[in-house]
Structure 1
Amino acid sequence: MDKNNLTQYELYIHPKDYQELRRDIWNDEPLPAKLKIGNKKLEIDIAYRGSHIRKFKKKSYHIAFYKPQIYRGAKEIHLNAEFKDPAVIRNKLSFDFFNEIGVLSPRSQHIFLSINGRNEGIYLELESVDECFLKKRSLPEGAVFYAVDGDANFSLMSDLDKEVKRSLDLGYEMKWGNEQDIFYLQEMILKLNTTPRAEFEKEIQKYFHVEQYLYWLSGIVCTQNYDGFVHNYALYLNRETGLFEIIPWDYDATWGRDINGKEMSEDYVRIQGYNTLTARLLDVPSFRKKYQLILQEILEEKYTVANLQPKVEQLYKQIKPYVQKDPYIRDRQMQFENEPELILRFIEKRGNYIRNHLQVLD
């Protein structure tokens, strides 16, 4: 397979099951289907994925492998429609950027999907963050929690109803782990909220890989994912070290566009970021200085037009031949063609904005 060609994913669902799938977009019950990738035929379970994105014409899917149960080292994958991203590359560009700066991130690749012989178009296949994710990277055993809504804000207060949380693990869904891991997550959130200021620097390092978090914070600030501070991330609890690490998730609303595909100004997200953990970490002078140095390093070496332009152009070169075959974006080809310039212009402006505000971290 030429690396410049998209792999064809041919999905076959019994018409009655397909009708059932389309009847209720909020139904999470998976339905049986078959998936053909090259010469490989797989039996799978399929369901819609996401929250507000289920309302879009171009649906996103969660696929669990049934026979075989493990395929290419994974037990499940996500197929993202990227419907509100005119470029169709922002998510992948973000994850590749996070990987480049040393933050654990899901692998991703663009594919071309058809369902029952009808073209559904360009999709981004996302690796699931679970025990297979850890195994592929030879990481120590651990737990994985998904931050599924705004209550995953590292606070004692609910982001949704503005009251004290009835449980400290609200906002999280355990993807992999045990009951003890849930208790440890609750303990971490309690400690980060109740530890006195004078003891916080020492205490938080018993629970969180602080330097890794600061690299993640740098990544989210550079890509300007406003939506990613209180959800759209995963937590990995490394049982060997007893420390949590943070993993980005769903980064299509980035590089100058929001979740509705609207343009965002380069100053929309402040460089101090958001959420309770970020605020408490940046209240510690040594952590704040470390964050400043990390940002400076990234701005010099990684977050530059010179570094990112070839990556943007390569993704466009790969996707462009398939735009006219995608029934949901072929009428927006002109906008698709203009997106690389918008992304690169945003990188330059955002980079300048961050440089000009580094002094707030002094």
Structure 2
Amino acid sequence: MRKNFFIDKNFAIFGMIFISVIAFVFISSRQSYKNFPSDLDFPTIYLYMEEEDVENLYERDFLSDQRIQGFAKTSPKDKDAKKVEVRFRGDSTRYLPKKSFNVRFEEEQDFLFGSNRMNLNASYTDPSLMREKISMDMFKELGLPAPRAAYFNLYINNIYEGLYLHVERIDENLLSHFDLNGKGTLVRDTFAANLQKEEMERASLFGYDIGSIENQEALLRENFSYRGDPDWQSVIDLADWVYNTPAGEDFYIGFQERFYLEDFIDWLAIHVLIGDIDSFADDYWLYLDHEDPDAKWRVIPWDKDLTFGSTYRPQVYVDNDYFAYEYHLYRHSYRDNDMIMKFFQTPQLQEKLFSRMAYLMEEVFTLEYFQNKTASLREYIQDSLQIPPSDYAFILHGQNHHGELGRMDEHIETILDFIELRYQFIRRQMYPAGDEIHTATVDLMDARVGDVVYFTDAKGWTIGKIDIREMKKKGKVTLVAEHEEEIKGINRIWRITPENTDILGDLTLYYRNEIFDFGKQNWYEEEDAIGNQWDLIMGIYKNDKAVSLPSKINPYSNKVTATVHIKDIEELVITYPE
């Protein structure tokens, strides 16, 4: 039980001075602050509520939006405590141990980008706590309207409850920041949420026959979130046009008339690059300045935690360590949204999108970009992220995220692995190269020492890669992965076949520990995301035995790396040392 420290609500009339005195007395009696990041070196929010209110918040229906009264400070030494109202936020994530919070202040706050709303995202499904931050920053990198995001340490009744990401509320303040009319139409499709409640038949407005509904505006008001006073007829007209216009020339012309095409392509391209598995149902807002007759629709991103390899399994949900990057360019995330589907099925639009994605991968969002980004964020948040549970931390939930503590290196590496593998997959999807799977041949004639060469099959699955350290002969190399049930660990043999080649390098082999949607057999012998994979090594397979190589494994991205001399035909396995 957390110690009840705060004042009874009946004494609130004595004002902020009395509140400050009580808080000061309590703070002086505790010695926990020196153990954790403080407001002096990291943005911090201190929430104070009656202990019985905290218990009620966690014991009542998690989906309740009834707000609980409290106070907030940005430092325990602040003389002024600000009145706030607190509730949980999110949808299905409310059932996870670490809760996300919506905090409403009475007045606008500078540390909230001038808003009075604080959206504290728990990011429990993301052991790096970087995925949403990186995603939102990517949109802003291209000049697109997107919420600003800032990290905060959160204390509740002076107990440290973790690192959170505040994601700016999408409202008139955000619009104003991007020089957009705050009185325009700003709406969010929530058909998907009502589909889960069996109140709707599909997860998106776009593809719904809205023309068959008598009271169309009432339908939208009941199944959309919105700000201010939207022009509902504009939303109805857009939905009706999507429903009645097939993919092709007419859709291409009509789309350019209704959307700022270059901005939409950038918005869509980023979703494809980061592999957002829950993109196009309710994870965006639509905006139209309906007071400007020449204005077009814009799309504003929202909710980007399930990206960069995060995935889903039935009965495991999304707080897991499974890893995937082979998401189809839109089928796994379009969520009944016919606007997205018809966009991809319209050749002129698809061609523009593919051209832009190729440019972004090669010139803007390169691997180096993400290496620098993750390194910068790591330096900023690592002290907070690695705080373990104690008497003064994590009383309301166990830890910052679902994963194993102390694995920050591997969790960040997984994000970078995702970028490498996702980009190889996307290129194969954009420019098909046959049907053969689990085999790839690379020509090293133009390769140099220091290059990284990928063995990616025709469907976009990367079997392996090699970081070249020495080169004596430059020829071709074929890498094949074949099933072998007798191998313990990963039941495959990787066969390397050089052709006039003599090179030394760090070879990485990738294996499957897949999500159910892809219908591909797991290569890892257990049905566990991690299991005993930390013990796996790469070995040269001879005479039905594996000769171990010094290896490094990262089971979060399903890979093992070892230094290998590629000169003769070799068979490699990923197994347990004998």
Q: So what's the TM-score if we normalise by structure 1?
A: 0.88
What does residue 122 of structure 2 align with?
81
The Cα offsets for residues 177-226 of structure 1, whole Å up to 9 and x where unpaired, read as: 325x2221111011111135553222233322232221111111101011
How far off its partner does 1:165 sit? 11
Deviation string 1:66-119 (CA, Å, 9 cap, x unpaired) is 1x2455411212001101111111110111112213332110011100000111
Q: 1:172 to 1:214 in 2, by over 3 A?
A: farther
The amino acid of 1:296's aligned partner reads A
User: Which of 182, 188, 204 in structure 1 is aligned with 2:238?
Assistant: 188
Cα deviation for residue 253 of structure 1 reads 0.8
The amino acid that maps onto 2:163 is I
Q: How many residues align?
A: 354
Quick check: 1:46–1:64 contact (8 Å CA) kept in 2? yes
Identical amino acids, percent of aligned pairs: 25
Of Structure 1 and Structure 2, which has the larger fraction of its residues in strand?
Answer: 2
Distance 1:101 1:136 in 2: 15
Which structure has the bigger radius of gyration? 2
> Which residue is 2:140 aligned to?
99
Deviations for 1:276-301, whole angstroms, at most 9, x for unmatched residues? 11222233332222111111111112
One of 72, 78, 84 as aligned partner of 1:35: 72
Quick one: distance in 2 between partners of 1:4 and 1:92? Answer: 22
* 1:212 alignment counterpart: 263
Deviations 1:18-56 (CA, angstroms, capped at 9, x unpaired)? 233223222101121111014463221111001111111
- Deviation string 1:131-166 (CA, Å, 9 cap, x unpaired) is 1111122213412112334233521169xxxx9998
Tell me, which stretches of 5 or more residues in structure 1 are unaligned? Answer: none
- Higher relative contact order at CA 8 Å, sep ≥6: structure 1 or structure 2? 1
Q: Cα distance 1:165–1:350, how it changes in 2: closer, same or farther (>3 A)?
A: farther
2:82 partner letter: L
Q: Secondary structure at the match of 1:333?
A: coil
Aligned partner of 1:202 in structure 2 is 253
The CA RMSD over aligned residues, in Å, is: 2.8
2:38–2:44 contact (8 Å) kept in structure 1: no
Q: How do residues 149-298 of structure 1 correspond to structure 2 at under 5 angstroms?
A: 149-150=191-192, 151-152=203-204, 154-156=206-208, 167=216, 169=220, 172-179=223-230, 181-195=231-245, 197-239=248-290, 240=292, 241-258=294-311, 259-270=318-329, 274=334, 275-298=337-360
Q: Is the 8 A contact 1:256 1:346 kept in 2?
A: yes
If the length of structure 2 is used for normalisation, what is the TM-score?
Answer: 0.57
Could you tell which deviates more after superposition, 337-346 or 262-271?
262-271
Paired residue type of 1:11 = L
User: Displacement of 1:57 after TM fit?
Assistant: 1.5
Moved more, 200-209 or 75-84: 200-209
Q: 1:297 to 1:170 in 2, by over 3 A?
A: farther
Assess if the C-alpha contact under 8 Å between 2:119 and 2:168 holds in 1: yes
**Any idea what SS the aligned residue of 1:58 has?**
coil
Q: Which blocks of at least 5 consecutive residues in structure 2 are unaligned?
A: 1-36, 193-202, 312-317, 389-393, 433-578
Bigger helix share:
1
Aligned to 1:344: 416
Q: Is the 8 A contact 1:157 1:165 kept in 2?
A: no
Note the C-alpha offset of 1:128: 0.3
1:322 counterpart (354, 363, 384) = 384
Structure 1 equivalent of residue 173 of structure 2: 132
CA deviations on 1:230-258 (whole Å, 9 max, x unpaired) are 22111112333432211111111111112
Q: Which residue of 2 aligns with 1:145?
A: 187
In the other structure, the counterpart of 2:535 is: none
1:295-353: CA deviation from partner (whole Å, max 9, x where unpaired):
11111122321111111111111111113435314883233331111111110111111
Q: Which runs of 4+ in 1 moved over 6 A?
A: 1-4, 163-166
SS at match of 1:332: coil
State how far apart, in whole Å, the 2-side matches of 1:4 and 1:354 are: 44
